[in-house]
Amino acid sequence: MGETIVRMGELAAERGDGVLCTIGLGSCVGVALLDDERAVAALAHVVLPDAAAHRGERAALPAGRFADTAVPLLVERAATLGAARRRLRAVLVGGASMFALRRAAGEPDVGERNVAAVRDALRRIGIPVAAEDVGGAHGRTVRVRTDGTVRVRIAGGAERLLRAPSAAVGEAPPLRGTLPPGAPAVGATLGLGVAR
Amino acid sequence: MSVPAYTALQRDALAELANIGCGQACTALGQLLGRVVDLSVPTVSALDLADAVESLGPAEEVVTAVVLPTSGDLEAAVLLVFDAPDAGRLGSLLGVDPGDVEMTASAIAEIGNILGSAYLNALVAIAGVDAEPAPPIALTDMRAALVSSALASSPAALDAAILIDAKLSVEGEECSFTFVLLAGTEDVDLLLRAVGLGAEG
């Protein structure tokens, strides 16, 4: 099974049997859109909230770099691969407070602003967030399978399940049972809404 | 991607600025450790963000990074990256038990502060710009998480990243680390103008 690395500011989509992976998200946010039934996954590596800040040419706007432009593009790419918009679910990972540089006291840092901007963009389009592992002050690696499984790993830790494929696919959620003891789903551990 | 192309002369000038800055940092570290510290020839690269992160080493490896942002006319940041064995050895040269993770991190933060400040002060003095280093932040995490977050908080995130990096090594010890100036194109233009090599003359 192939693994596609989505690097800083990039965006990729896949269908069938594949994995999209982003290594070492810090303040950046990995935004995945999933259609479990069609086995379509799309992943963006968002760096900043707002494309209005971009200094280069608009035509050269990096696909995944800004939250407000990356989210609609994810929907478009997933739809091109056959995903149904009403079935799309989002998973958010990252948005940590790493180096809180050049930040006036009380102002949210870039990680928090990224998460808020991604949520806004999803709300505008009407895509629900199925699971998330955001905030804190540590890096994360995320692996998104086209079947809808999302796994997260932190530095020095083991991979943990953040989201299992939706039960609507007609199969029992397979991976939860295969996890080693003491490695519960991240979303469940943190009390985050793992809707399915 | 709008990655700028610099002339050979401009690259040489930027490398020379880094060379002088790192030279000051070397002297400062040498005095602290009582050892000779060697400096590699700095390299200058203008890269897309993703390439910039990749150029600094394995993404998921756990490293310690110290970042010193500058405030004022120049909105660059100095990034020092130490892999775990080098951080331990550097700490032990200062008498810290390498097994003591907390003390090692604290020693690395202090070394980063001394080196980064020496570097930035030299750079600012030569370029004649009004900028000063802000307090350093030291973190240990995946390399890509640290480098990408430092980039995301810098003007480089808005266009392309200019990396000017050099390697410092302590003579007689298997100990070296990377010293990077992270800047956006506007900041590099400012530096180039200051030394009379700006694009606009």
Tens digits of residue pLDDT in A78-121 = 999 999 999 999 999 999 998 865 555 567 789 999 999 999 99
What is the reported pLDDT for A61?
67
- Mean pLDDT calculated for residue range B1-21: 83
Residue A166 lies in a domain: yes
User: Can you spell out the DSSP letters for B96-150?
Assistant: --TT-HHHHHHHHHHHHHHHHHHHHHHHHHHHT--EEEPPPEEEEEEHHHHHHHH
Shortest distance between the Cα of A170 and any Cα of chain B, in A, equals 35
Which overall architecture, per CATH, does domain B8-194 show?
3-Layer(aba) Sandwich (3.40)
Contact A9 B49 (CB under 8 A): yes
pTM of the model: 0.86
Q: How far is A172 from chain B (nearest CA, A)?
A: 32
Q: Residue type at A156? A: G
> Do B176 and B169 meet the contact criterion of CB atoms below 8 Å apart?
yes
Record: contact B149-A96, CB cut-off 8 A: yes
**Chain A residue closest in CA terms to B50:** A8
Interface test with A, best of B147, B148, B159, B186 (most A CBs within 10 A): B148
B92: closest CA of chain A, how far (Å):
23
- Domain extent, residue A96, equals 2-189
Distance CA B182, CA B79 (A): 7
Q: What is the largest CA-CA distance in chain A?
A: 51
Distance from CA of A10 to the nearest CA of B (A): 8
Q: What digits encode the pLDDT tens for the residues B19-76?
A: 888 888 889 889 988 889 888 888 888 888 899 999 999 999 999 999 988 888 888 8
Q: Which residue has the higher pLDDT, A184 or A57?
A: A57
CA geometry: angle B116, B118, B119, nearest 5 deg: 65
Whole-angstrom distance, CA of residue B15 vs CA of residue B30: 21
Q: Which chain B positions have a beta carbon within 8 Å of A156's beta carbon?
A: 62
Q: B188 vs A129, which has greater pLDDT?
A: A129
**Residue contact A26–B145, C-beta within 8 A:** yes
Strands, sheet with A160-163, edge to edge from the N-terminal-most edge strand? A2-5, A18-25, A140-145, A150-154, A160-163
Q: Which residues of B touch A54 (CB under 8 A)?
A: 158-159
Q: What is the pLDDT of residues A8-28, one digit of tens each?
A: 999 999 999 999 999 999 999
Taking a contact as any Cβ pair under 8 Å apart, which residues of chain B between 64 and 83 contact chain A?
67, 69, 71, 75, 77
- Enter the ipTM: 0.87
Report if residue A139 sits inside a domain: yes
Percent of chain A with pLDDT over 70: 77
pLDDT at B191 over 90: no
**Average pLDDT of chain A, as a whole number:** 84
- If one counts the domains in chain A, the total is 1
Distances (CA, A) of A6 to A28, A29, A45, B115, B122: 12, 12, 7, 34, 38
Domain membership flag for residue A195: no
pLDDT reported for residue A33:
98
Q: Which residue in the set A8, A55, A137 is minimally distant from B49, CB to CB?
A: A8
User: Residue A169: pLDDT above 50?
Assistant: no
Residue A106 belongs to domain with CATH number? 3.30.1330.200
- Alpha-carbon gap, residue B140 to B20, rounded angstroms: 28
Residues of A in contact with B54 (CB under 8 A): 7
Find which of A27, A61, A93, A101 to mutate to test the B interface (most B CBs within 10 Å of its CB): A101
A194 occurs within a structural domain: no
Q: Which of B56, B149, B162, B186 is most worth mutating to test chain A (most A CB atoms within 10 A of its CB)?
A: B149
Q: Are residues B143 and A111, on separate chains, in Cβ contact within 8 Å?
A: no
Q: Is the pLDDT reported for residue A186 higher than 50?
A: no
Residues in B closer than 8 angstroms to A101, CB to CB, are: 67, 69, 77, 134, 137, 150, 153-154
